[in-house]
């Protein structure tokens, strides 16, 4: 991912967030914080410790995005139009392969009320650690930490 990807990335991320997180962030009260998300991505792209990726169609249309740091999966999403196609699982496999060989435990946080997202992670073998935190974005919903061990993965 490069800064030039941000306009398309923000469109994909906003559409997916609005569709998938409507109960977490009701748009009439807490609309997608486009400028804050853009600033966060710019900071993350400038951080050498963060690896960020996009997936595109042959025509260049952005279909997915991800970012990781050390043993943490920071961001992962696909375009709403691709939901249910298997693309997310394919991109997930490609992303996990980018973690350094010595990293056995990877972790992420997912919104407690993001039931679709939680089912996705659990289907891929992730489990809750029981640790919780709150996001910095109002209304500050709960995040649940998930983890997965890579040892024994094919």
**Token code pair at residue 120:** 């996705």
Q: How far apart are CA 126 and CA 121, in angstroms?
A: 5
Q: Which CATH superfamily is domain 3-149 in?
A: Gcn5-related N-acetyltransferase (GNAT) (3.40.630.30)
Whole-prediction pTM value? 0.93
pLDDT digits (tens, 9 = 90+) for 53-109: 999 999 999 999 999 999 999 999 999 999 999 999 999 999 999 999 899 999 999
pLDDT for res 152: 55
Domain extents for the chain?
3-149
Pairing of strands 62-69, 127-134: unpaired
pLDDT digits (tens, 9 = 90+) for 119-154: 999 999 999 999 999 999 999 999 999 999 987 554
pLDDT for res 44: 98
Distances in Å between the alpha carbon of 96 and those of 23, 87, 106, 148? 29, 14, 9, 11
HEC-encoded secondary structure of 26-40: CCCCCCCCHHHHHHH
């Amino acid at each position: 991912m490069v800064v030039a990807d941000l306009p398309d990335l923000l469109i994909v991320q906003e559409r997916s967030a609005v569709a998938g997180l409507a109960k977490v962030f009701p748009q009439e009260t807490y609309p997608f914080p486009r400028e804050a998300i853009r600033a966060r991505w710019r900071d993350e792209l400038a951080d050498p410790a963060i690896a960020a990726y996009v997936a595109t169609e042959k025509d260049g249309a952005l279909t997915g995005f991800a970012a990781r740091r050390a043993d943490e999966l920071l961001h992962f999403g696909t375009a709403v139009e691709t939901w249910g196609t298997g693309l997310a699982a394919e991109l997930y496999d490609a992303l996990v392969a980018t973690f350094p060989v010595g990293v056995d435990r990877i972790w992420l946080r997912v919104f407690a009320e993001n039931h679709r997202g939680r089912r996705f992670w659990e289907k891929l073998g992730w489990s809750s650690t029981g640790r919780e935190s709150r996001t910095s974005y109002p209304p500050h919903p709960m995040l649940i930490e998930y983890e997965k061990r890579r040892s024994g993965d094919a």
